[in-house]
Structure 1
Amino acid sequence: MIDLLIIGGGPAGYVAAERAGEKGLKVVLFEKKAIGGVCLNEGCIPTKTLLYSAKLYENALHGDKYGVFGDNIRFDYQKMVSRKKKVVRKLVLGVENKMKLNHVAVVKGEAFIKGRSSSGIEVTCNGESYMGRNLLVCTGSESAVPPIPGLREAGDTVLTNREILELTERPESLVVIGGGVIGMEFASFYNSLGTKVTVIEMLPEILGGLDFEISAMLRSIYAKKGIDFHLNAKVVQVEGNSVVFDKDGETHHVEGERILLSVGRRPVTQGFGLENLGLELLRGGIKVDEKMRTNVPGVYAAGDVTGFSLLAHTASREGEVVVNNLTGRNDIMRYNAIPGVVYTNPEVAGVGETEESARSRNIAYRVAKLQMTYSGRFVAENEGGNGICKVLVGEKHGEVIGAHMLGNPSSEIIYGACLAIEQEMTLKEMQEVVFPHPTVSEIFKEVVFSF
């Protein structure tokens, strides 16, 4: 009898498998494509690899601001793509080695849930049957494809995040439908390489759900870099390489050599026998409690398939919660300190409540913010650039409830705010923390002292 069957080898599945293997559980992990899931193979890692290449190119173009000069600065798009593939292969091998080290049996193929009985939970794959005491469903998510007329007829002109990563040539123009995180990261990448980019967003601002002020600031930066934005715009049709959208009661057209469809993702709940368990669904995903348990005993779900927080680091933590509870450690999943990052140039990072979410939830708060130029390290490394750091605290106790940043390297220092929220640190306690000097992270302390 297998202790834990896991369907899906993405961040939720492979982290859960690794942790379970470390604790001596007998684990079988099923993955129909490549280990690592969408994040490692089609999302997080490949996009960040390409974005870093673009950032280096952009920095080289403007090196004169730092007294560094170069002639004939250029880029090789195919080499960027080749390096992206190499990085992905290396990391996939790394995850596979972790599975071997922790004695996790990895089965490549499409798993199918036969059902649950007194003997356990049965899953079949490649003609073999596997019986387990517990099942963890980590089937992830897929790109949402809305019913826009002409979308499918446009053929390979229209791309999702998967297909655009396989392009071998840089498009001269790109229309991005959807100004969320994925859309903005690809917009940033291609804008840096000289592609004419247009972003069409249905909402009043890009990056819905993030701090509104910071989202607007990032949009302004990229508008100056040449990206055209159409907000409050609804796409009504695709005609070949032309996107038709309504805005302010008028119909507009914009053309692009390629069209990137980036309107969100949806949980994968079909095609692997989930219906044979009678699981309860919520928001299109599998409904779970704070321990990631479903309504069926012995069956858990983690990652994007829950339809709640579609982030790789959320998925990994959810997988850990499952294993901790299976191995005797009482653990619950908390979502109040989940960081969100946008890897544009400059980066955006945030965690906890925004001003908008705090107001909508009737949370009494105080807010303080400072320009990033209050950090000496930021000034030294970002000639002519600026940004913002904003911190929210509860009105009554002064505990940190949110922090949001625009400026490099926000992605690398936002974890400090995550810790503060997780530990319910107050302004006084934050003021007593010693930050290394000079670092950009000191901006947190500067903001805390400005309340």
Structure 2
Amino acid sequence: MNTDLIIIGSGPGGYRAAEHAARNGLQVAIIERAEVGGTCLNRGCIPTKAYARNAEIMDIMADAEAFGLGCLNYSFDFAKAAERKDGVVGTLRSGVETLLSAPGITLVRGEAAFKDAHTVTAGGEDYTAPNIIIATGSVPKMLPIEGIDDASMVWTSDRMLAATELPRRVCIVGAGVIGMEFACILNSFGCEVTVVEFLKECLPALDSDVAKRLRKAIEKRGVAFFMQSAVQAVGDGTVTFDRKGKQTTVETDCVLMAVGRTPATAGLNLEAAGVEYGPKGIITDDNLLTNVPGIYAIGDVNGRQMLAHAATMQGLKVVDSILGRTEGIRLDVMPAAIFTHPEAACVGLSEDACKALGTACRTAKANYRSNGKALAMGETEGMVKMLADESGKIIGCHAYGAHSADLVQEVSALICRDTTAAELAAMTHIHPTLSEMVQECAEQLARA
């Protein structure tokens, strides 16, 4: 079958690229070996956020007395929470399947493998196109440690999301996004949670000032953290790790490996197409083009920014390039959120990154405890931190606290338009809202 564009993978990058290409007159074959929607919909963003909502409601119930609601009794049915999570995923998956049934799109079920630079085999057929987008995503990463192959004890995020029963005690290895989100969810669900992390601080993409405060807030909720700790072995209901030269062991019923994800390139037969790749993914230029003309790689598989929305925007950028369009998508401005409790978010440079790069910056902070809406909500734990360069242009924003992702999204949009702190300070913000903290930071920077 000859077509204009082949897309391998139907995650957020693949299905949005297919829809955009078909809407603009291209004939698209999109190949998927499993469920449409990719990791994000089926084993990542969406199911974890469904559980995060369950956890949030439980946390609100636990604090209900502060709002004058006494003598409340409830029980938690994990099976029903899992059923709800599956229902959310199923509804969204049906939506993606409908999108991929649109005119101009052919959904192919099967394992894709390159035959040559312009031919892909899947489902027993050959598909040929001048342009091919690889959007196969990623798989959970595992550490090469003793006992890692003990399937009864060592779980990935995939298995945790598919679980029908909760372990009583969980040791999470890794304090990145996956580890921190699960730590909060499982803690709210009543599990005893321990987190072991090799680095000095959690969530390295976050400004360390914000990350430390977030970790301390989660620690107060009952999650135990062991930072600067290297896991050595798992087995017999224990995790053993080295912490600053001292061997420590914790008991657990389950070990959740949350040390990141690795690009999914196995089985693609990239060698047949001559596509260069390595342990960190398929190598691309800033236009997402591989070393082979006409072959692109987007999303987790190129290892650039492992975020669902990054995959989406990369896919749209590639399709626009194929169509010969000049678009205004800025992939250098990529906001990110961590749906812990409280949640956190960031965009642009952190103060740590500025110091490492030798970039002069000014910073400003606003605390939730001084914000009227936060006090009224009972959400006083949190902080917004904004950065500007010497000219006053906003270059970063990092925050933790209720709805911090929404606050950072506002700043992200303004960074895309090279907005200065003075310009933001002059923009009227509704009172009372949490977003007044964004304006407050801008006012501080404008006065500096």
Kindly report structure 1 stretches of 4+ aligned residues shifted beyond 4 Å.
none
For 1:261, the equivalent position in structure 2 comes to 257
* TM-superposed deviation, 1:73: 2.0
Deviations 1:306-362 (A, max 9, x none): 111101010100000000111121247644321111101111011000000111111
Cα distance in structure 1, aligned partners of 2:329 and 2:300? 14
Deviation at 1:156, TM superposition (A): 2.2
Aligned to 2:125: 128
SS of equivalent to 2:162: coil
User: What letter matches 1:173 in structure 2?
Assistant: R
Please point out which of 190, 195, 219 is paired with 1:194. Answer: 190
Q: 1:98 Cα deviation (Å)?
A: 1.3
Mapping of residues 43-442 of structure 1, within 5 Å: 43-116=44-117, 121-152=118-149, 154-281=150-277, 284-331=280-327, 334-383=330-379, 385-395=380-390, 397-442=391-436
Contact 1:77 1:169 in 2 (8 A): yes
**Contact 2:407/2:438 (<8 A) preserved:** no
Given that 1:4 and 1:135 are in contact with CA atoms closer than 8 Å, whether structure 2 keeps it comes out as yes
* Counterpart contact for 1:60–1:70, Cα < 8 Å: no
| Deviation of the 1:70 alpha carbon | 4.7
Provide, for residues 241-296 of structure 1, a one-character-per-residue CA deviation record: whole Å limited to 9, x for no partner: 21110012111111111110011111112212111111122552111122211111
Alpha-carbon contact 2:153-2:235 (below 8 Å) kept: no
In structure 2, give the amino acid aligned to 1:64. Answer: E
1:176 Cα offset (Å): 0.2
Counterpart CA distance in 2 for 1:236 and 1:440 is 44
Which is further off, 436-445 or 21-30? 436-445
Q: Distance in 1 between matches of 2:278 and 2:238?
A: 36
Distance in 2 (alpha carbons) for counterparts of 1:173 and 1:62: 24
Whole-angstrom distance in 2 between the partners of 1:194 and 1:130: 50
How far apart, CA to CA, are the structure 2 residues paired with 1:263 and 1:141?
Answer: 13
SS in 1 for 2:242: strand
* Kept after mapping to 1: 8 A contact 2:218/2:341: no
Task: Give per-residue Cα distances to partners, 1:163-187, cap 9 Å, x unaligned.
Answer: 0011111211100001111001001
Provide the aligned length of Structure 1 versus Structure 2: 444
Pairwise CA RMSD: 1.3
Change beyond 3 A, Cα 1:161–1:289? same
| Gap change, CA 1:183 and 1:337, over 3 Å in 2 | same
Identity rate of aligned residues, in percent?
38
Q: Which deviates the most, 325-334 or 167-176? A: 325-334
Alpha-carbon distance between aligned partners in 2 of 1:84 and 1:317, rounded to the nearest angstrom: 26
Instruction: Report the alpha carbon displacement of residue 373 of structure 1 after superposing the two structures with TM.
Output: 2.6
2: CA distance, partners of 1:367 / 1:66: 35
1:240 Cα offset (Å): 2.7
Q: Which amino acid aligns with 1:248?
A: K
Could you tell me how far apart the structure 1 residues matched to 2:103 and 2:382 are? 44
Q: Aligned partners of 1:191, 1:94: CA distance in 2, in Å?
A: 32
Give TM-score scaled by structure 1 length. 0.96
Q: Give how far 1:207 is off.
A: 1.0
CA contact (8 A) 1:290 1:333 kept: no
Once the two structures are TM-superposed, the CA of residue 43 in structure 1 deviates from its matched residue by 0.2
Contact 1:290 1:332 in 2 (8 A): no
- TM score, norm. by length of structure 2: 0.97
Where structure 2 has 5 or more consecutive residues not aligned to the other structure, the ranges are none
